[in-house]
Amino acid sequence: MNKVTPVLFSRWPAIADLAAADVLEIETVVRSTGFFHNKAKNIKAAATRIMTVYGGEVPRTMAELITLPGVARKTANIVLGSAFGINEGIAVDTHVRRITFRLGLTKSDNPVVIEKDLMPLFEREQWSDINHFLVFFGREVCEARKPKCADCPLTEICPRKGIK
């Protein structure tokens, strides 16, 4: 996604441009991310809704953001935290799910439950950063298939749940 977004936003710099874009053209840009048919359809539909319902302004509340096609709590938390500095919750993606389970911070694989398990463990001011820290940690140290436990700074406190 990090490679696709610069291309997407350079091609359609304004939300109105994206709302007016052809879905097939959006598909060509987001193809490499997987599930590109749905993503392109949701990107266009979300841009259209932002234009028609929110006057071209990205909503600033969880309740409004999750009305956008393709947007659930994870994306809404990232938008609120990264774009607006609003810490509504903790974005739970595949890295956060894996690491928090391995560390024994949650017993669930449900992102909403994991988010609720994590929120009391951190200060609210840290919530939007937690996802970024755990994603980096998951990519660099606690990888899905071959975690680098020998190099991990948390090895002494990690129960390594789910690791064979």
For the stretch 40-61, pLDDT in tens is 999 999 999 999 999 999 999 9
Average pLDDT over residues 124-128: 96
Number of domains composing the chain: 2
As a whole number of angstroms, the distance between CA 127 and CA 115 comes to 10
Q: What is the CATH number of the domain that holds 115?
A: 1.10.1670.10
Q: What is the CATH number of the domain that holds 24?
A: 1.10.340.30
> 132: domain range?
73-164
Query: Can you give the pTM of this predicted structure?
Result: 0.88
| 53 and 105 housed in the same domain | no
| 116 and 156 housed in the same domain | yes
65 in any annotated domain: no
**In the predicted model, is pLDDT for residue 164 greater than 70?**
no
As a whole number of angstroms, the distance between CA 17 and CA 109 comes to 37
Quick one: pLDDT at residue 28?
95
Catalytic entry in 93, 116, 117, 129: 93
Catalytic entry in 3, 41, 44, 74: 74
As a whole number of angstroms, the distance between CA 18 and CA 97 comes to 31
Confidence of residue 134 (pLDDT cuts 50, 70, 90): very high
138 in any annotated domain: yes
Active site residue 117: no
For the stretch 66-107, pLDDT in tens is 999 999 999 999 999 999 999 999 999 999 999 999 999 999
67 in any annotated domain: no
* 1 compared with 98, residue with greater pLDDT: 98
In a 13 Å sphere around the CA of 163, the CA atoms on its Cβ side amount to 20
**In the predicted model, is pLDDT for residue 1 greater than 90?**
no
Quick one: pLDDT at residue 91?
97
Could you tell me if residue 56 is left (phi over 0), alpha (psi between -120 and 50 degrees) or otherwise beta?
Answer: left
User: 79 and 61 in contact (C-beta within 8 Å)?
Assistant: no
Active site residue 93: yes
Average pLDDT, the chain: 94
Confidence of residue 36 (pLDDT cuts 50, 70, 90): very high
